Structure 1
Amino acid sequence: MNAHTPRRRDKAVYPGKVAIRHAKEAAVEMGIDPGGLEICPDGTIRIFDRAAIPTAAPKDEFDEWLMSGKLG
């Protein structure tokens, strides 16, 4: 490769909607409660279990009341 030749970028190969839907359905069949997913340019689909995602701690007393349902 010549120093003056620009590098070609490989085109991203994202998975389609059907592949994502199949991955989600397979995760549900395995007992995973999908809480999020990551889609990579190389076609990788990662599904995260809702139980593994930490819940945000309340920042102050108002948020604590809001999260507990005491504010209606």
Structure 2
Amino acid sequence: MPSDRLVANELQQGTVARLNPGAGFGYVRDAEGRHSYIFVIGRALKHSQARTLTVGKAVRFRVSGQGRVDELVVA
């Protein structure tokens, strides 16, 4: 039976939903648009990669068991 919940540690595809580089965080939304997760710049991705992020940008990400992004890969 399919689940609406994402499995922790599974690499997901999605987009940057909101971005606040001054505060050092943002949100990504999964490809289906059902879930949104927070990421912290400097933890989920390198600061140099953060410069290329914009709202709507395609990314791949890995979610922790607590619903935070552990890894963010700019597509």
Q: TM-score, normalised by structure 1?
A: 0.22
Task: Report the structure number with the largest CA radius of gyration.
Answer: 1
Q: Give 1 or 2: higher helix fraction.
A: 1
Q: Which has the higher contact order (CA 8 A, sep 6+)?
A: 2
